[in-house]
Copies of this chain bind each other. A is one copy, B any other.
Amino acid sequence: MTDNEQIVIKSLPQGKLRAEDYERVIAPMPVVEEGMVLVKTEAFAITAGTRAGLQGSASYAGAPTPGLVMGSTGVGSVVESRAAGISVGDRVLTSTGWQQYSVQKAAAVSIIPESHNAIDYLGPLGVNGLTAYFGLLEVGKAQAGQTVMVSAAAGSVGHLVGQIAKIQGCHVVGVAGSDAKNAKLVDELGFDVAVNYKSGDYRSALKDATPNGVDVYFDNTGGFVLGSALFRMNVGGRIACCGVVSQYDTNAPEPGPKGIPGLLINKRIVMSGFLVFDFADAYDAARTQIAGWLASGELKSLTDSVHGLAAAPEAFVDLLAGGNIGTRIISLA
């Protein structure tokens, strides 16, 4: 067999992440021990959340250090198996990382049903889709007729949040950083309106976009956009805190918005942080529902695919600058 091409962390970023913080190495093929499988990576997702781990402090993403392969969720095919119940040729979802091959414990891989598109497991049927689903419905408790606002609305989670909210019968307001993204959200994905937070009239545009206020704010960004949402929230509103992309690409996170906790009190807002892993018991039921929406065409998955391991560092830097529309995927196939 061949050697194993990898992208490893060369240095933890100082300030903004640079492609030079990574380097390509050729490692020996890993040894497959009893109870494990060798997975050949077909594609992996690049998500903003993994930037948080590179800040070197505690994070749910773990604590990457120089010399380690960059982490990511990916899909691949089993090329060697020493685990009962997993066969060569099975397609699986696992933590591939940024490398051609990885060895995984049997418990760390999920076999993808043949009836499903494997790439969807990096999008609507994977962590992104499940995050959108549980964050909107279980944490945000979005109800038909209510207004749902979502930030990073063209991102891997956000573009699914808005569509699921439309399926629920909500009025959906997206916030993203370019007019091109916003046009896509409205024209292709059915958002009611989308507002550009980089525009000079953002606050008045947001006000115009939310004439009945905001009942559920799905927060992927924190920072400035969270602050703007607080002023539009209705009494009894819910904020589902999913990510803090505005604060990932830095070593010096900003303070929180001024309205916390004052506006939370006046408006009796419930602000809940969540991690999708806490809903693992309900993944199967959610995937069944999401797969139905994909099959009926009610839910569309936007992917933004880049080819080749070597392109991953630049693709990550660009994503942190808002360069992606939908889920950014690195394909190796």
By a beta-carbon cutoff of 8 Å, the part of chain A in contact with chain B is 52, 58-60, 219, 222, 226, 239, 241-244, 247, 253-275, 278
Contact = CB atoms under 8 A, between A and B. Distances in A.
B272 A278 contact: no
A277 to B, nearest CB: 10
Contacts of A278: 268
**Of residues A222, A244, A256, A269, which shows the largest number of chain B Cβ atoms within 10 Å of its Cβ?**
A256
Counting every copy of the chain, the complex holds 2
Given A255-B256, A270-B270, A261 B60 contact: no
Contact of A263 (B261, B262, B264, B273): B273
B265 A256 contact: no
A266 B258 contact: no
Given A253-B258, A256-B257, A258-B254, A266 B60 contact: yes
Contacts of A273: 261, 263-270
17 contacts: A59-B266, A219-B261, A222-B262, A226-B261, A241-B264, A241-B265, A255-B258, A256-B256, A256-B257, A256-B260, A264-B271, A265-B273, A265-B274, A268-B273, A269-B272, A269-B273, A271-B272
Contacts of A272: 264, 268-271
Q: Secondary structure of the A side of the interface?
A: loop
A274 B255 CA distance: 23
A263 B256 CA distance: 11
A141 to B, nearest CB: 12
A98 to B, nearest CB: 23
Nearest to A277: B268
B222 A266 contact: no
Contacts of A261: 219, 222, 226, 239, 241, 244, 256, 271, 273
Contacts of A266: 58-60, 273, 275
A222 B264 CA distance: 11
Given A226-B261, A256-B257, A269-B273, 8 more contacts: A60-B266, A241-B264, A260-B271, A261-B271, A264-B271, A264-B272, A267-B273, A268-B272
